[in-house]
Amino acid sequence: MRFAQSALAALFIAAATAHLLVAQGSLGGLTGRVTDNSGATIPEVSIQLRNVDTGAEFQAATSSDGAYLVNSLPPGRYRVSVSKTGFRTTVRESVVVSTATVSAADFALEVGSVTDSITVSGSEVQLQTTSAEIGTVMPTKAILDLPISMGGAATTGATGRRQIENFMFLTPGVTGTQWNKSINGAPGFSQQVLIDGVDMQNIGAPGFIAEASPPYEAVEEFKVQNTLYPAEFGGGLGVMNFTMRSGTNKYHGGLFEFFRNEAMDSRTFFGGSRKALLRQNEYGGTFGGPVRLPGYNGTDKTFFFFAYSGFQLRGGVPVGAFVTLPTQLQRGGNFFDYPFPIFDPATTAPDGRGAFERQPFAGNQIPESRFSGVAQRALPLIPVPDLPGFFNNYRSRQNQPGTDSDWSVKIDHQLISKQRISARIGTCAARRRLTARWPASSTPASALRPPPPAARASITRTPSAPRC
């Protein structure tokens, strides 16, 4: 028993060292009124809530006007029991409490013995009548079932893995990208980000969370609070409020793999006869349940949830942009088709008015004898344009392969019915490369010894903060 308690305490301390704050920003609530069959309110009615998945219990009682309010409820499904001497007990199953939402549920009691009960099933309560707030809740099923593409827009300021904020762009009033978004027309970089009620704001770019976001599968649900939200959410012009998944009384886990391969892609209009290498794999798993150690059984009390996500992008998403490279004539110094004169720096002289002037090369032709040694060695490494003209004449072969690895662990412990402690720890590590590639036909054999089949330039960027 002592070993179990010590191990559990060490686990909490480790998680708390990373991020342990008292927070209620993601918790919900339930309110309503209890009446009899005539519509008269009933005071001092016992209200009992039990979380269907964790067994956590909460109690309340109606006031003199028959109203009740249960605050600080973790999002989830609850079984609500309403009882009072002289009336039949009423039980309502699967009452849903959502992130940062106080739902309403009224009850009408019938006269009878308290041992008699009436059970109402299939009545998920989603109506919120206690606040003028405008917001949208995205539940677990929608998060996991609706398709999310890897790469593309998801790479804005991050690697191509699925990001926990991707679905917010399907909610009303949200526009932009992960990097710079707007809620209800507010300026970019002005949103507040809460994860399990803890402020996860990026001071340099408020509202941007992709560089440190937890695994996608670790999210229970999230809520976009557009406007008219309570004063406690006053940290931005719009709130992104995430609730992370917690363990339950049953062990549950899963594995997943999402992939994309260029073999199943069609050729792009400017892609030529060959498809660019593009292979994406996002894989991982989750596992959660009660904490059980030698001498300790955490059923109905202590839970854990672990999530891992790995991502590999080989080949990378092609940039696809057009760039300007010197034409074949320009490589020899002939800029006759260039619309602006090329001035000779060797002719710099005072103009007599306190400034300097230069003379243009005759016919915009730079003699090869004036080419520097650096230019003579660099020119053979520059590919030949794909298209005629001197502007936007080459399709970029740049791509950005990358990998990242992220994991998180969440621990929940019910101290008493009104006291609960949660802690979460995790890491997010990413690596990206910017790679350019062009055909070997553009590189003379004399420029490289020995001549390779293809010239390749690779630049590895290490950002100041890992971006996942």
Residue 384, phi then psi, degrees to nearest 5: -80, 140
Domain 2-131 has CATH 3.40.50.300: no
Q: Which of 247, 223, 246, 227 is nearest to 237 (CA)?
A: 227
Per-residue pLDDT at 285: 96
Per-residue pLDDT at 445: 34
Kindly report the number of other CB atoms within 10 A of residue 224's CB atom. 25
Q: Classify 212 as helix, strand or coil.
A: helix
Q: Domain ranges for the chain, please list them.
A: 2-131, 136-320+400-461, 322-395
CA pair distance 166, 179, nearest whole angstrom: 11
How many residues does this entry show for the chain? 468
Q: Which residue has the tokens 């690596």?
A: 431
* Residue 17, both tokens: 């060292």
DSSP-assigned letter for residue 140: H
The gap from C-alpha 217 to its chain's centroid, in whole angstroms, comes to: 11
Q: 315 with 401: CB under 8 angstroms?
A: yes
Residue 424, CA distances (Å) to 1, 60, 214, 408 in order? 24, 29, 10, 7
Taking the model in full, what pTM does it have?
A: 0.72
Kindly report the number of other CB atoms within 10 A of residue 139's CB atom. 17
- Going through 201-342 in order, the beta strands assigned E by DSSP cover 219-227, 239-244, 252-261, 279-290, 292-293, 296-297, 302-314, 322-323
Per-residue pLDDT at 411: 95
Query: Following CA atoms 6, 22, 308, 11 in sequence, which dihedral angle do they give, to the nearest 10 degrees?
Result: -10
Q: Which residue has the tokens 């030529």?
A: 272
10-residue mean pLDDT series, the chain (468 residues) = 49 43 71 92 95 92 94 92 93 90 91 77 61 81 73 53 80 84 87 88 78 86 86 83 93 92 78 73 95 94 95 70 87 90 93 92 93 91 87 80 88 86 87 62 37 35 42
Per-residue pLDDT at 207: 81
CA pair distance 204, 269, nearest whole angstrom: 39
CA pair distance 433, 152, nearest whole angstrom: 16
Residue 49, CA distances (Å) to 81, 120, 139 in order? 6, 14, 21
| Cβ partners under 8 Å of residue 234, min gap 6 | none
